[in-house]
Structure 1
């Protein structure tokens, strides 16, 4: 059962994706909202979370001219960037101080595979479902499915493999 995203969830999203990459310059991030998510599991004895898979988060946004190529459709780079940012943001949303947190909250990309089924027209209302298919202490397999919020047409599916390493503990000096 999913939970409605709160104002705090949307503030988290803007902190998470609002300052990175071309999204902040291309006026993308302030047009994406966090809609809902599956329940967040409690922190386990190891300091991480036992995440049931699939775990889902839902985002929404409207494609505007600054997301588009000269043909009036969403630029493929924009879709790939959103796949990167929203999948990492979903992982970061589940992070704890000892699991998927610092030094690289949300992890780093090992591979992003973006498949474009249909051109996304300017003005389209997107529903982006991010699904964490598997997450361990060091790897996550995550997918973002971009659909038309009105018709359900699947435009793009992005698959992302993400890695994470805990910060090295500093040794005490004598």
Structure 2
């Protein structure tokens, strides 16, 4: 299973000064991103981590926060086509633990859905940042396919790739692969809408992120 696209050129980095509005300040240099692979700048990696942490409730308890905090960002890439950022991909890793399982000791469907939600949209946030727009949005639809059960103890690689981002519509796909067995356990397509994007009634000077937005 490949997490790269050989038909596109990687973008060396995008503007390190780009900060999307309505998000908490980017953490300082103490936030270690040296272990995160990929072709984007450290500043961009910190931005993505900050946004991700904000939405999983890492600083304040929220639904699923205990699981969300275990998701480790290991890779982030942006590719260009015809000189413009056209696709982004993020890779997280997490190990299936007991509190993530059903009575059969396999990853619970609801937990898989929770993992897909923020991870899939992280690719849209990264691409949006590279394009200079707000990639966040509220969920419109999410279609998941469970290919096989992931047993407790399975280490998963969560690969999310942007599919479409234009106007207010954003779409991404997400796949949960076994790190050690390279098996596909879950695949999903997630569509979101940015309520304050082009064509909305929200003032351009107002917040570009609704209070209920996902990552």
Task: Give TM class, smaller chain.
Answer: 0.7 to 0.9
Q: How does 1:126-145 map to 2 (within 5 A)?
A: 126-145=156-175
The alignment's TM-score, normalised by the length of structure 2, stands at 0.63
The alignment's TM-score, normalised by the length of structure 1, stands at 0.76
1:92 to 125, 129, 134: 125
- Which residues of structure 1 form unaligned runs of 5+? 42-49
Matched, 1:30 2:69: yes
Q: Which residue of 2 aligns with 1:74?
A: 107
Q: Which residue of 2 aligns with 1:3?
A: 39
Q: How does 1:1-174 map to 2 (within 5 A)?
A: 1=10, 2-3=38-39, 8=46, 9-18=48-57, 22-24=63-65, 27-39=66-78, 51-53=85-87, 55-95=88-128, 99-100=133-134, 106-166=136-196, 168-169=202-203
- Preserved CA contact (<8 Å) 2:171 2:189: yes
Secondary structure of residue in 1 paired with 2:174:
strand
> What is the rounded CA distance, in whole Å, between the counterparts of 1:87 and 1:112 in structure 2?
10
Aligned residues: 155
Which 10-residue stretch deviates more, 4-13 or 86-95? 4-13
Q: CA RMSD in A?
A: 2.7
> What is the rounded CA distance, in whole Å, between the counterparts of 1:80 and 1:93 in structure 2?
21
CA shift, 1:11, in A, is 4.1
- Preserved CA contact (<8 Å) 1:56 1:129: yes
> What is the rounded CA distance, in whole Å, between the counterparts of 2:160 and 2:141 in structure 1?
16
Which 10-residue stretch deviates more, 12-21 or 149-158? 12-21
Deviations 1:135-161 (A, max 9, x none): 112111211100001111000001111
CA shift, 1:83, in A, is 1.2
Which 10-residue stretch deviates more, 162-171 or 140-149? 162-171
